[in-house]
Amino acid sequence: MKKSSVLVFALFIMVFNSCNSVDGNKTETTTNEIKAGVVNQINTELFKKLVYNYQKNPNDWVFEGNQPCIIDFYADWCRPCKMVAPIMEELATQYKGKVTFYKINIDQERELSQTFNIQSIPALLYIPANGKPQMSVGLSNKEGYIQQIQSLLIKAQESN
């Protein structure tokens, strides 16, 4: 009787684990899952759809989005990046509906980090709806990021 109970329990555990592992590691964001008011994790494929398709337009910046955005290039091991993350979350809430916030892991998206010549992180790419993007490297405080957002994205949007 004990052997059959153990066998049934083991079978139950195997079935339970196999059911949970189906798409259990899926953490990638899709185009339909992009949300306002939060920092959205994206990959190279989504970057090309939502921000800039550098393969299709290698010589000209053609913004694919409809409102200004910020790209936070980061790595999980980077301590300053970990300090920037909660600030970006706060700013994503503060600028909800005005600025879209994305983050890209440079270790997972090497092609993209090479395309933008990311050599130091945190690196933030400020992208106005019209005009050329500007890169900012290094850690700043919340007020510094707000100044950048206001001058590079919000005022640029209002003048167009």
Q: Show which residues are catalytic.
A: 78, 81
Give the β-pairing of 39-41 and 100-105: parallel
What is the maximum alpha-carbon separation in the chain? 79
How would you classify residue 19: left for phi > 0, otherwise alpha for psi between -120 and 50, otherwise beta?
A: alpha
Residue whose pair of structure tokens reads 């800039």 in the numeric block: 52
Q: Rounded to a whole number, what is the distance in angstroms from the first to the last CA of the chain?
A: 78
Backbone angles phi, psi at 126, to 5 degrees: -95, 120
